Chain A
């Protein structure tokens, strides 16, 4: 009799409630997950660095899958431009703290799990402390200093780093920091100097791309927790969304790696801004040029003054909105300067007034004297003169 009464308690079913068994039934009926796997998921502690584009599918899928303890690190607030890809958030979340909006969404998706939020930037001072209570760190950040920080903190604390990054139409994913496997510095010992990173020159990302790459990270995280399949250890997955092509490259552990090599030179967290050359960068001189405010320009146009408006943005921006200017992108200005009449009064504008300040400075050097920069660009025009002009 004694043996019989002991049996139910010994069964792993005790670790999941009746509600959980129903919720996770499509996992439980797969032999690759089953009760054992679902309990592993429930016991897992995963820290997401960033709740943005990559963090959205990560948070949603890991919460839905029943990862028992999710940590979310983000310092940012939701804005309208996030909604094109950060599908955790809804329009009503604009202006809210991302970690709060994400916690609410994920808790609604799965109230069975624990969610801890850290409304902070990840820094060298707090990273090791934050990582301590988690088993797996998932890098969903958007900048080099934090990526190196996440990597080094993972290596130093012996945590696995599920990595994903994106650029416009292209993504990369892999698993760093697995015992015996490579780390981020094995792949890229140093970051690009600020400015040379092409991502500085071209913004934008196709909204679905972080969805795909973040989902790959979520899948790898779950495989690591379950101990099933072949994780992306020592393999760099490249994804080109335009070609719709996945490729895989070999990733080796570098024996001379400064963090995870046999004679590491980085043994504690460093200043990652400095490492990435950011703090030492000299600020470019501010261009001082004659300015005109949108209201002044409007008044002059209303008076019928002969003012020539020069729009120095790119053609695809002109398609978004325009205020009747003559389009010469800043980069084309030197060879198209002959399209301009230096005897006329010219007001140059761009989106925010920065490129057009460069254009005004250039044209003044070229001998133009009656030229002004539209202060605040088309954004200020929208705010001060014509709210029908969309902002972007």
Chain B
């Protein structure tokens, strides 16, 4: 089945800057596997180490959440759209961490606090640095 997988803005840099890819897949799981086969960097952002989809990434077939369908076994039909919808917090400085103390992943940059680079997590330096 030819389906369209929509890639959200935060993940486009891991998918060759594409906003969608067309793949052939019978299920949602197959569609995501094809996507990862093409763009390996996405795996870390979509799946936990144990192979489960990350809980801050939701996947939709057309306008419905696969958690309420058959999860990754949800069948796909020609022309379906699979959407990856991660949670986004907004804002331009993730070190505005809200209540409580400054998070440890931030470092001081003059007057401001900015995210610390973390190669282990694949974080390049923030543009703001």
Residue ranges of A at the interface with B (Cβ–Cβ < 8 Å): 52-54, 76, 81, 121-124, 141-147, 149, 164-170, 172, 187-192, 194-205, 210, 236, 238, 240, 242-243, 247-252, 271-273, 278-279, 281-284, 314, 316-317, 330-331, 350-352, 354-355, 358, 379
Write the nearest CB–CB distance from B16 to chain A, whole angstroms.
15
Known A-B contacts: A191-B56, A238-B85. Give 17 more (CB < 8 A). A53-B90, A141-B89, A143-B90, A144-B89, A145-B99, A146-B99, A166-B90, A189-B55, A195-B123, A199-B88, A200-B94, A200-B123, A205-B91, A272-B98, A278-B105, A316-B127, A352-B109
A-B contact pairs, 21 of them (CB 8 A): A53-B90, A53-B92, A121-B98, A121-B99, A142-B89, A142-B91, A143-B96, A149-B99, A165-B90, A169-B9, A170-B88, A190-B55, A192-B86, A199-B90, A200-B126, A204-B127, A242-B19, A250-B65, A284-B105, A316-B127, A330-B125
**What are the residues of chain B within 8 A of A202 when measuring CB–CB?**
10, 13, 126-127
Please tell me if the beta carbons of A164 and B90 are within 8 angstroms of each other in the complex: yes
B101 at the interface (CB under 8 A from A): yes
* Chain B residues bordering chain A, tally (CB within 8 A): 54
B50 at the interface (CB under 8 A from A): no
Query: What secondary structure prevails in chain B residues at the interface with A?
Result: loop
Residue ranges of B at the interface with A (Cβ–Cβ < 8 Å): 8-11, 13, 19, 44-45, 54-56, 58, 60, 63-65, 68, 83, 85-94, 96-101, 103-105, 107, 109-110, 114-118, 121-129
Chain B, residue nearest A286 (CB): B107
Please tell me if the beta carbons of A200 and B115 are within 8 angstroms of each other in the complex: yes
Write the nearest CB–CB distance from A284 to chain B, whole angstroms.
5
Which of B88, B96, B127 has most A Cβ within 10 Å?
B88
Please tell me if the beta carbons of B55 and A281 are within 8 angstroms of each other in the complex: no
Chain A, residue nearest B127 (CB): A203
